[in-house]
Chain A
Amino acid sequence: MALDNTVEVETPELVRFRYRVAGPVRRGFAYFIDLLIRGVVLVALATALAAFGLSGTGKMNGIMAVSAFGLEWLYYVVFETSGDGRTPGKRAFKLRVVKEGGFPVGFIDSVLRNLLRAADFLPVGYALGLAVMAGDHRFRRLGDRVAGTLVVIDDETRVVAPLVLAPAPTADELAAFPQRPPLTAWERETLELFLRRTDLTEGRREELALSAAPVFAQRMSMWFEDPVRFLALLHHRVTTPAAPGSERA
């Protein structure tokens, strides 16, 4: 069970790994970066051509028109097929285009998904694309559907330091818990994500803990005073195997 939008990919080795699918906001930011880059390139080109004394000539118009065409229709295909499924904007926001099934995106797929931008854009500002994305748990716009592609988040996580309980749990506190607290894997994951959050105020932290702690307390027929401390102890008990002999009889 995933906590956020992930897709599972099963490889020929019968291993499953998960991708986090990128939502419209993050993709929107990447789009604006690309838009900005395309705009800057066009302006820079115009300035350069003017510096060579070409302004107002047919040559300049021709070069500008072909460049505008390339930046509008080919920019994405070129970057997606040569640059690891990423345009500069996607790179900045750690996004990547992959085929369904986790394979790298091919030329034909990239062409299709990017030509269909013209349809996703309708009637204005990618409105249709957004509406279609909203109805899909993998956030695929029309172009993604035709090409069979996904935009995933390529954010490599790091192994973080284990959570440290402060003050350190006393033997008495730990002994109150069962040896193996009955938690599912994703309950454990939820607990850890909650305990790692640093952006919560004290009050909000307590409020959130209070909504979860009774569930676990009831399951283990326990009683608690401080819900945050209780959840932290519970997590500690689950993740840290007791050293042999440290347990009180």
Chain B
Amino acid sequence: MTPSQDEFVHARNGEWTELRALLDRGRVLHKLAPAHISRVAALYRAVCSDLMRAQANGYGPDVIGLLDGLAARAHNALYDAPPYRLRAVWELLAADFPRALRKHARFFALAVALFLLPGALGFVGAYRSRSFALSVLPEQTVEMMEKSYAKGFDVGRDADTDVGMAGFYVYNNVGIAFRCFATGILFGVGSAFFLVYNGLTIGVVAGLVTASGHGKNILTFTSTHGAFELTAIVISATAGMVMGYALIDTGGRTRTGSLRAKARDVANLVLGAAAMLLVAACLEGFWSPSAAPAPVKWGVAIVAYTLVTTYFLRAGREPREPRP
């Protein structure tokens, strides 16, 4: 004899209320007393069987809905997501990020090409003719660039402006990198577009400034933070293209499944790039415009490039097997 819905609810409601009260104590189950945790587990199993009984006996949608909700909440509390701790950040930077980049080295090479070739084109074009530069950038921007790099860095910049600019670089550059990544979902087209566009713009600006005789200034300014900033933008685009290509070559999976399979690598690349951009923003805000003599800045830039290259080539390699 199956109990009626009212009898069933009456008999079971006590445990449901108890479970709800335990769950209301907070999301983080493992901080409760051990007795409570095992009680939640027991009540969860009871609710699961209540749910099956309710479905089998054809009770009303309100009872089933309530049990669905309760089971879902308890399930969420018992099967919590793996926590992301500080240690994970360290593992990302020490190993996962450079490993992910080495794994997708081909896409990185493609991204570098898509960035550097338009950059070189823009540089040569703008160096030779100002009208070429004007066809790429609006006149105001061109004049502003020529003016701002004409000054040089003899006096540096006051500390207050530095803070403001560093904040702006975080907002602007990390934002560009994230968009460069996200638009890669359009079969990689968005990332490729942002690479070409940014490459061309940067090339044109460099060409213009060089043509107006201040090439040394722009080189001095951009050399150090460029090691981090430009590399990171290219890496974000790499992540975007890996994602876009996952939609094309699915390896026998569904498109969504193929995306999911690449998600971890993609996230490691983007998070790593974001970390690099934060470094770059600090350098660009405080070091690059400083009054330090140009040769010192060049020296630091060489060190920076060496560090970045070594990092990507060496970090996170498995230790070699000892020779017998």
Cβ of B139 within 8 Å of any chain A Cβ, yes or no, is no
Cβ of A214 within 8 Å of any chain B Cβ, yes or no, is no
Would A118 and B182 be within 8 Å (CB), given that A68-B171, A69-B175, A105-B81 are in contact?
yes
Contacts of B108 in A (CB 8 A): none
Cβ of A145 within 8 Å of any chain B Cβ, yes or no, is yes
Cβ of A108 within 8 Å of any chain B Cβ, yes or no, is yes
1/0 contact string of A145-170 vs chain B (CB within 8 Å) = 11110001011111110100000000
Cβ of B163 within 8 Å of any chain A Cβ, yes or no, is yes
Cβ of A66 within 8 Å of any chain B Cβ, yes or no, is yes
Contacts of A176 in B (CB 8 A): none
Which of B61, B70, B184, B259 lies at the interface centre, i.e. has the most chain A CB atoms within 10 A of its CB? B61
Contacts of B79 in A (CB 8 A): 102-104
A73 — nearest CB in chain B belongs to which residue?
Answer: B178
| CB contact between A148 and one of B168, B181, B260 (< 8 Å): that residue | B260
B185 — nearest CB in chain A belongs to which residue?
Answer: A119
Within 8 A of B (CB), among A2-42: 3, 9, 11, 13, 15, 17-19
Within 8 A of A (CB), among B133-157: none
* B76 x A66 contact (CB < 8 A): no
Within 8 A of A (CB), among B164-209: 164-168, 170-172, 174-175, 178-179, 181-186, 190
Cβ of A47 within 8 Å of any chain B Cβ, yes or no, is no
Cβ of B52 within 8 Å of any chain A Cβ, yes or no, is yes
Binding site of B, secondary structure by majority: helix, strand, loop or mixed? Answer: helix
Cβ of A249 within 8 Å of any chain B Cβ, yes or no, is no
| CB contact between B167 and one of A65, A72, A117, A157 (< 8 Å): that residue | A65
Cβ of B93 within 8 Å of any chain A Cβ, yes or no, is no
| Chain A residues with a Cβ closer than 8 Å to the other chain, count | 65
| Chain B residues with a Cβ closer than 8 Å to the other chain, count | 70
A65 to B13, CA, bound (A): 52
Contacts of A111 in B (CB 8 A): 267, 270-271
Binds A, one of B3-11, B220-228, B306-314: B3-11
* B6 x A17 contact (CB < 8 A): no
Cβ of A112 within 8 Å of any chain B Cβ, yes or no, is yes
* A239 x B5 contact (CB < 8 A): yes
Within 8 A of A (CB), among B270-324: 270-271, 285
A102 to B78, CA, bound (A): 11
Would A11 and B75 be within 8 Å (CB), given that A65-B168, A103-B81, A156-B66 are in contact?
yes
CB distance from A105 to the nearest CB of B (A): 6
Interface residue ranges, B against A (CB under 8 Å):
4-6, 9, 13, 27, 45, 48-49, 51-52, 55, 58, 60-63, 65-73, 75-76, 79-82, 84, 88, 158-168, 170-172, 174-175, 178-179, 181-186, 190, 243, 256, 259-260, 263-264, 266-267, 270-271, 285
18 contacts between A and B (CB under 8 A): A15-B49, A18-B68, A19-B72, A59-B164, A68-B171, A69-B171, A103-B79, A103-B80, A108-B84, A119-B190, A122-B190, A142-B185, A156-B66, A158-B62, A159-B13, A188-B58, A238-B58, A239-B60
Interface residue ranges, A against B (CB under 8 Å):
3, 9, 11, 13, 15, 17-19, 57-66, 68-69, 72-73, 81, 84, 98-99, 102-109, 111-112, 115-119, 122, 142, 145-148, 152, 154-160, 162, 185, 188-189, 192-193, 238-241
In order of increasing CB-CB distance, the 7 nearest A-B pairs are A58-B164, A62-B167, A107-B84, A65-B167, A61-B164, A118-B182, A157-B65
